[in-house]
């Protein structure tokens, strides 16, 4: 018997605190004029807490001068710590791509013996640890525990680790190559961070930087391009403007279409003040929103077959579940229905989300499936969760998948 079934929003202790957000100007051109593209009211960040503020209303705005899309208010440093306390690696996983990244650098002669490479946002240094021994390696991150972990994990790799702030840190010597993979979109002031890199570089320093861009942002995932982890949602043009303003000129660019990334190779130049907006970025934003709404509509249609009196098991207690709550009618149809979350992540087990307890998937064998439905709440993990549910004895007709196809990105 499972005792801890409970309905949605049965925990009343969650709160919001205005100190988690900071109202901001456009992160590229500093204009205060923007239009709102999307609002998610009282978005809950991970598990319930009676102590920490876990909710914040998220608004995605688009600058009316340069058309950059950005979160406004952004997270304050207190808000970032409180809201993302359970998020783990905050700059996305780059380890699976490190071989491709290394080959790309090698093909452009950027891994020369004796050269000095700085990885900005290095986390625990895994990418650096896989580079050739003859390259001098420096890693920087704002995450002090990750830096400490890197120092002990890769003690034999002669990596110099630096901890500090993106806008002010400085390595002991000017780097020959700077890499920055999927970091810039997380920073509150990306132009200040790029200017900082520029001021400690020498004339021949090469900057390799990769971000997700609006042009590559369409997916059928309800937790899509406008990620709550990102403070700026660049387009190709708004990124070019940020580089120009901070004294970098582009030598080479390419799209990593397999996961929607956009990578440039840049070198130092004079800082330029003139912003060149691309009016098409408004159309692109609307086009993206239209594809996102279509993804939400498809997911919502998959949920309409769930019988109202059924109990609900949701497999997947991450941010995707909050998007289900925010955007679909899953919990609107029967707000007093008993629910349970299962997740194989031991950090989530024993906690609750909006009052619903999270358990290990082992409990599935105790569920009476005659009046219970299981919803798979994951995009990338949908197929493996589906298989896991079948193996746990959940009848196939009682499993709801939200996506007809899943693209790896």
User: What is the contact surface with Zn ion in residues (CB under 5 A)?
Assistant: 26, 28-29, 31, 63, 65-66, 68
Q: Rounded to whole angstroms, how far apart are CA atoms 73 and 103?
A: 39
- Smallest distance from Zn ion to CB 191, Å: 10
- Smallest distance from Zn ion to CB 278, Å: 11
Q: Which residues contact 218 (CB under 8 A, 6 or more apart)?
A: 224, 225, 287, 288, 291, 292
Our CB check for Zn ion shows the closer of 20 and 235 to be: 235
Round to the nearest angstrom and report the end-to-end CA distance of the chain: 39
Our CB check for Zn ion shows the closer of 17 and 31 to be: 31
Question: ∠ at Cα 96 (316, 122), nearest 5°?
Answer: 100
- Smallest distance from Zn ion to CB 238, Å: 7
Residue 14, CB-side half-sphere exposure with 13 Å CA sphere? 21
C-alpha to C-alpha distances, 236 to 26, 242, 243, 379, 391, nearest whole angstrom: 16, 10, 11, 26, 44
- Smallest distance from Zn ion to CB 225, Å: 18
* CA 290 from centroid of its chain's CA atoms: 21
Our CB check for Zn ion shows the closer of 215 and 338 to be: 215
CB 377 within 8 A of CB 314: yes
Q: Report strand pairing: 206-212 vs 177-181.
A: parallel
- Smallest distance from Zn ion to CB 24, Å: 11
CB 362 within 8 A of CB 346: no
Judged on CB neighbours under 10 Å (0-12, 13-18, 19+), 19 is exposed
- Smallest distance from Zn ion to CB 62, Å: 9
Our CB check for Zn ion shows the closer of 45 and 67 to be: 67
Phi, psi (deg, nearest 5) at residue 129: -65, -20
Our CB check for Zn ion shows the closer of 79 and 277 to be: 277
Our CB check for Zn ion shows the closer of 245 and 314 to be: 245
- Smallest distance from Zn ion to CB 56, Å: 23
CB 215 within 8 A of CB 166: no
Our CB check for Zn ion shows the closer of 35 and 81 to be: 35
């Amino acid at each position: 018997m499972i005792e801890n079934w409970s309905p949605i929003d049965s925990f009343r202790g969650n709160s919001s605190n205005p100190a988690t957000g900071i109202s901001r100007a456009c992160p590229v051109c500093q204009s205060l004029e923007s239009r709102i593209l999307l609002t998610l009211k009282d978005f809950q960040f991970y598990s319930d807490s009676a102590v920490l503020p876990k909710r914040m209303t998220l608004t995605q705005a688009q600058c009316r001068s340069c058309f950059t899309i950005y979160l406004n208010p952004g997270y304050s440093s207190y808000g970032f710590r409180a809201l993302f306390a359970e998020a783990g690696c905050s700059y996305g996983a780059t380890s699976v791509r490190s071989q491709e990244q290394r080959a790309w650098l090698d093909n452009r002669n950027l891994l020369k013996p004796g050269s000095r490479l700085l990885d900005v946002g290095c986390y625990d240094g895994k990418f650096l640890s896989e580079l050739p021994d003859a390259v001098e390696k420096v890693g920087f991150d704002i995450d002090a525990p990750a830096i400490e972990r890197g120092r002990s994990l890769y003690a034999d790799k002669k990596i110099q680790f630096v901890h500090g702030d993106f806008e002010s840190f400085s390595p002991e010597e000017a780097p020959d190559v700077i890499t920055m993979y999927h970091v810039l979109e997380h920073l509150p002031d990306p132009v200040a961070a790029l200017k900082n890199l520029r001021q400690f570089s020498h004339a021949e320093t090469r900057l390799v930087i990769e971000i997700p861009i609006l042009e590559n942002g369409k997916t059928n995932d309800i937790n899509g391009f406008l990620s709550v982890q990102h403070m700026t949602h660049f387009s190709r043009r708004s990124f070019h403007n940020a580089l120009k303003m901070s004294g970098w000129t582009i030598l080479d660019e390419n799209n990593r279409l397999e996961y929607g990334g956009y990578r440039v190779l840049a070198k130092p130049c004079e800082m330029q003040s003139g912003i060149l907006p691309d009016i098409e970025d408004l159309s692109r934003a609307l086009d993206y929103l239209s594809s996102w709404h279509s993804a939400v509509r498809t997911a919502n249609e998959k949920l309409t077959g769930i019988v109202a009196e059924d109990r609900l098991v949701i497999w997947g207690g991450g941010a995707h579940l909050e998007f289900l709550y925010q955007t679909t009618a899953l919990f609107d149809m029967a707000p007093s229905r008993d629910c349970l979350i299962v997740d194989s992540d031991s950090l989530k087990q024993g906690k609750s989300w909006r009052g619903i307890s999270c358990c290990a998937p082992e409990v599935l064998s105790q569920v009476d499936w005659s009046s219970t439905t299981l919803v798979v709440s994951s995009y990338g993990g949908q197929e493996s969760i589906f298989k896991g549910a079948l193996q746990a004895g959940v009848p196939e007709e009682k499993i709801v998948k939200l996506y007809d196809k899943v693209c790896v990105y």
